[in-house]
Structure 1
């Protein structure tokens, strides 16, 4: 997998991704502490609203920004987005009201909605060989999973010697470092897309998705992935602390189990995809996710004591692994279903449409879980996942 880092341009871009991820991880920790300082016991509400704003920015901003900057070279777009993110982070230590958090988060995540799809669309041009591209996708998945583990540990170590406001300095350094590596990288030339009216440019990626059967099926699998992800992200702490009555350390352990499953698959996928098709691997992985939700509901209803804890660890590992089976190859579909001229529009559409699924399942997992209970909400999410699977099966029936 690491041999792909022999490509000098990709090595710089991967370094930019890793540094920016670490900065974002420090931001997540510092933002939670800032919210508690401002809102006290209502910090959860503040962070919930901030998460909703983040998703709205991802869903609404990505296609619009792509329509505006899609004809521009990728390098200045990426640099500008990183500079904006660093500039927004400069103001975060001075926030003293909730509305300021919301405004700055919207600006920062809007810049991220500009950076991420543009970055993802550049990688296929930097790595035209499909084997190299597949290894890069697995390496990227591994970076995301490691960040989820390393950033909190790094933040905890730093908090022993500095105040949480100084963590934002790490965020600023991360985005500036990312911009510097992008400046240093050499980008291949890509033909600009044909000029078209603004509304057509905004909807270009979504229209390509709908015309392409592989990408249409990916829409359904985005929904499937969002169901189990929402259960993990929103309700892990509730399950561990509330239902099982275990310590705070076990919250981190259960989340780490999810990440471990994902990392195992990230290592194995390049070899697997040489022997099996993307669609088969992705659909096989997606089948396990509603099954994992059913298992979660059964464990929460019937299992007790140590058995319930061990069972959940296994389910979270399997869920992380099968989620990675769906997400890692998805960019290969995006690459196949696009041309260099419209690739940024297609990646922006995937970024926006996938996060639209989270905008549905995150509130569902949280609100329904609080009102109906965790086992019932897991069953509701199973129903949503089955709808996504059915949609993908119909779209991919000819394949």
Structure 2
């Protein structure tokens, strides 16, 4: 897996992702402490609202941004988005009011709504081999885990020497280095695409996504993952500081436990996915998350038990979501890949749009146990929906009929109206066949 880092293009993109996420990890810790300073015990509600605003930007703006930049070269799009994020992050140390947090988060995540789908869609073009791409997804998951492991540990060390306000400077540096690394990378040229009107570009990815059974199942599993991760992200600072009477360093340790569990899963997944298909691995991860949330609704954890729960939650979270790139790649032609990645980015964040404010406001109103019970119910709904929406087997090659196409249509050449091939939703396949 680590040999991919020596790849001349992927290695630079991976490095750009790592430094940007290190900066984002410092932002997560600093933002939680800033919210606690401004709102005290109500910090969970503030962070819940802030992350809900983040989700609104992701859900509402990522399809629009994706359609606007779909025909532009990816390199300048990625660089400009990084630079905008750096400028916004530069303003964060000067925030003195809660509403300013909300405004900064909206601007920051608007740029991320442009950057992230374009970045994710670039990796399959760089690594065409399926095994290499699976390893790249695990490396990408590990990079995200650095946000939950190394960044909090680094933040804990820095907090011994400086005020948390200075941690925002690390975010600026991370985005700046990311832009610099991308600027020095030769990215593959876009595949030629069919010229489509803006409205078609805006909705194409969502249409492909919602018409594909495995992707509908992915969306349901994302709801389960969002229920578990929302509590971790929004309420860790409240549980540790108010519940356990811990320090800022203890908050970093708790977040590192979550990241450590996720990292263990990411390291194990490339080998595991050679023996098992994506569906059982992702279903098992979602079942673990649901069981952990239900258990914590009834068990009052000690500090060591709490850290174990957080580590297991990280493991289940990574097992549920890390393989998603394989499903997206399998479900679209190269020319539609960015549209489908953008659709996943927008639709999946609808889940966090629900769970972030739910986790924050329920924690403020009722405490940890009832909140975990509510989120466990949400997670169970996602898991049960996935079992119905994503049938077992999930073949790549599907036998189907084209009664709507004329006999001389190029797609029928050599196969006739009824044939079999790797199926994705496209101009010739508007719906997934349910019979035959």
1:106 alignment partner in structure 2: 106
Query: For structure 1, which segment, 91-100 or 218-227, has the greater mean C-alpha deviation from structure 2 after superposition?
Result: 91-100
Aligned to 2:21: 21
Q: Distance in 1 between matches of 2:234 and 2:39?
A: 20
Task: Find the counterpart in structure 2 of residue 342 from structure 1.
Answer: 336
Q: Mapping of 1:232-251 within 5 angstroms?
A: 232-243=232-243, 249-251=249-251
Q: Distance in 1 between matches of 2:246 and 2:162?
A: 29
Deviation at 1:280, TM superposition (A): 1.5
Q: Which of 337, 351, 361 pairs up with 1:357? A: 351
How far the C-alpha of 1:8 sits from its partner, in A, is 0.8
1:55 aligns with 2:55: yes
- Alignment correspondent of 2:81: 81
CA distance in 2, matches of 1:59, 1:197: 21
Aligned to 2:227: 227
TM-superposition CA deviations, 1:79-138 (whole Å, max 9, x none)? 111121123234444555554443332222111111111100000110111111111111
Q: Answer whether contact 2:51 2:356 (CA < 8 A) is retained.
A: no
SS of 2:334's equivalent in the other structure is coil
Tell me which residue corresponds to 2:412. none
Aligned counterpart, 2:383: 389
- CA–CA distance in 2 between the matches of 1:133 and 1:143? 15
Stretch moving more, 241-250 or 355-364: 241-250
Could you say if the C-alpha distance between residues 182 and 269 of structure 1 is closer, same or farther in structure 2, counting changes exceeding 3 Å? same
Q: CA RMSD in A?
A: 2.5
1:71-150 equivalences under 5 Å are 71-95=71-95, 97-150=97-150
**Quick one: distance in 2 between partners of 1:384 and 1:200?**
33
Query: 1:291 is paired with a residue of what secondary structure?
Result: helix
Q: From the superposition, tell whether residues 48 and 188 of structure 1 become closer, same or farther in structure 2 (CA, over 3 Å).
A: same
Give the match for residue 9 of structure 1: 9
CA distance in 2, matches of 1:357, 1:81: 24
**Mapped contact 2:23–2:173 kept (Cα < 8 A):** yes
Distance 1:254 1:87, change over 3 A: closer
- Mean CA deviation greater in 269-278 or 374-383: 374-383
For 2:424, the equivalent position in structure 1 comes to none
Matches within 5 A, 1:251-266: 251-266=251-266
CA positional deviation for 1:369: 2.8
Aligned residues: 392
CA contact under 8 A between 1:218 and 1:330: conserved in structure 2?
yes
Relative to structure 1, the CA distance from residue 225 to residue 54 in structure 2 (aligned partners, 3 Å threshold; closer, same or farther) is same
Comparing 337-346 and 25-34, the one that deviates more? 25-34
1:28-49 C-alpha deviation (Å, 9 max, x unpaired): 3444555567x46488255443
Q: 2:48, 2:360 within 8 Å by CA — same for their partners in 1?
A: no
Going from structure 1 to structure 2, the CA distance change for 1:192 and 1:73 (only over 3 Å counts) comes to farther
Distance 1:314 1:155 in 2: 21
Q: Which residue of structure 1 aligns with residue 70 of structure 2?
A: 70
Q: Distance in 2 between matches of 1:312 and 1:353?
A: 31
List structure 1 runs of 4+ shifted beyond 6 angstroms.
Answer: none
What is the aligned counterpart of 2:374 among 349, 373, 380? 380
Greater helix share, 1 or 2?
A: 1
Q: Tell me if structure 1 keeps the 8 A contact 2:149–2:258.
A: no
Name the stretch that deviates more: 287-296 or 376-385.
376-385
Q: C-alpha displacement at 1:311, in angstroms?
A: 3.6
Q: What is the Cα deviation at residue 316 of structure 1?
A: 2.5
Tell me, yes or no, if the aligned pair for 1:286 and 1:326 is still in contact at 8 Å. Answer: yes
**Aligned residue number for residue 152 of structure 1:** 152
Within the candidate set 317, 323, 330, 2:311 is matched to 317
Aligned to 1:271: 271
8 A Cα contact 2:52 2:352, kept in partner: no
1:177 equivalent in structure 2: 177
Aligned-residue offset at 1:227? 1.2
Secondary structure of the residue aligned to 1:193 is coil
Secondary structure at the aligned position of 1:8 is classed as coil
Report the Cα distance in structure 1 between the residues aligned to 2:363 and 2:27, rounded to whole angstroms. 27
Question: What is the TM-score of this pair, normalised by structure 1?
Answer: 0.90
Residue aligned with 1:338, SS: coil
Structure of greater Rg:
2
Deviations 1:132-153 (A, max 9, x none): 1111111111121122222233
Query: Could you say which residue in structure 1 is the equivalent of 2:191?
Result: 191
Partner of residue 331 from structure 1, selected from 318, 325, 328: 325
Distance 2:299 2:42 in 1: 30
Does the 8 A contact of 1:21 with 1:174 survive in 2?
yes
